[in-house]
Each structure stands twice: as structure tokens, then as C-alpha cells.
Amino acid sequence: MTPRVAVVLILLVLIVRPAAGQSRQYFSVQGSGALILPAEEPVGFQSDVRLGYDVQVRYTPSRFSVGIGYQRSTILTSADLDVSAALEVAFIEPRYVFWASGPAAAYLAGRAGAGRYVCDPDRCSDATNAVAGGGLGLLLKLGGPFAIDMGGQYFAVFEKDVRSDYFTVRLGLGVGL
């Protein structure tokens, strides 16, 4: 792709009218619950249900939108070792609606941020790690300013020489402001 084509595509994305299924308000608040699944189970840890949540504020000028938010997810538990670990992430999440029809819209999303592990008891380092990922989602417009957001995402945490991979399935509610 030539630089000119890329610039034209970016400009089109930014000026296209909002898609149906997305909140028609420029700003919205969204909260989601999530199920977290590690790509690889660490030795000595159970694969029980790991839950998480995220909250974000979104700006939606067109088919493109961007959110800034906070995610917290339980990622490891072990009864044998008497430890559990969660991941806290401050993130930015750009989205692009690639299909819209009536009250529904499908989107591609990326997510990048800075995160840290939180352990109980305190067995995690306080290091800040890079977190990045992406996924797909479906927005379903409800009455008024409300929309349901369902999505799946893959993300990785990058610590020094180690990378941990996770899959997330989310269900949330967005409210246009």
C-alpha cells in the first residue's frame, strides 16, 4: 500500500458518519464483565473460572472510535500455593466498525496499555509491563443511548524476557452521554 492510499483511507475513516449500532453520541461510558482464559496453563495453577472487568470512556466521531480505560482481571489461582494474581491495566482502545446494519455493528479493536500484576499474598513485583492485543466485537443498539457490547480479544503481557498470552470473552453495556 502506498503512503497516499494509506492517508486517503485514514481520512475516509475519520470523516465517515457514525454507524448504526454505535452510540450516536460522541461520548459514551462503557463497563464490561469478562472471562479470562490463559493461552497456556502455568504448572501448579488451576484452570478455574477467571473473571475480570473493564471500564472505559469512548469518543466516537465516525466509524472509528477510541476508548481510554482500566481493566482488572484475575489471571492465576492456586489453592496449593495459597496465591491468586490479578492483572491491572490502564489502556487505550481504538475501534473501527467494518460492518453495520440496523441496530447492529461489528468492529475490529486493538488495545495497548501499561499493566502490573497484583498478588494475594503480596508475591508479585511492582514492575510495570507493556500489554497489547486485539479482537472483534459486536455492538447491539438498544433503546435511547444504550448499547450492548459483546467481544473477544487476545492480549499479551510483556515482562522483561517473558510473554504471557490470554484470551478474553467480554459482555458489556455502553451508555451515550
The dihedrals phi and psi of 5, each to the nearest 5 degrees, come to -65, -45
Mean pLDDT on 131-139: 96
Amino acid 131 reads V
Please report which helix (H) or strand (E) contains residue 172, including its range.
strand 162-176
Per-residue confidence band for 7, with pLDDT thresholds at 50, 70 and 90: low
Residue range(s) defining the domain that contains residue 163? 3-176
- This prediction has a pTM of 0.80
Euclidean distance between the first and final Cα of the chain, in Å?
38
C-alpha 97 chain-centroid distance = 15
Q: Say if residue 29's pLDDT is above 90.
A: yes
Question: By C-alpha distance, which of 104, 91, 80 is closest to 30?
Answer: 91
Given this model, what pLDDT does residue 1 score?
Answer: 59
What does the pLDDT look like over 8-17, one tens digit per residue? 445 444 444 4
Number of domains in the chain: 1
Question: By C-alpha distance, which of 135, 147, 139, 146 is closest to 36?
Answer: 135
Q: Do β-strands 129-141 and 162-176 pair in parallel, antiparallel, or remain unpaired?
A: unpaired
Q: The domain spanning residue 83 has which CATH number? A: 2.40.160.20
- 16 neighbors 10 (Cβ within 8 angstroms): no
Q: Say if residue 160's pLDDT is above 80.
A: yes
Per-residue confidence band for 20, with pLDDT thresholds at 50, 70 and 90: very low
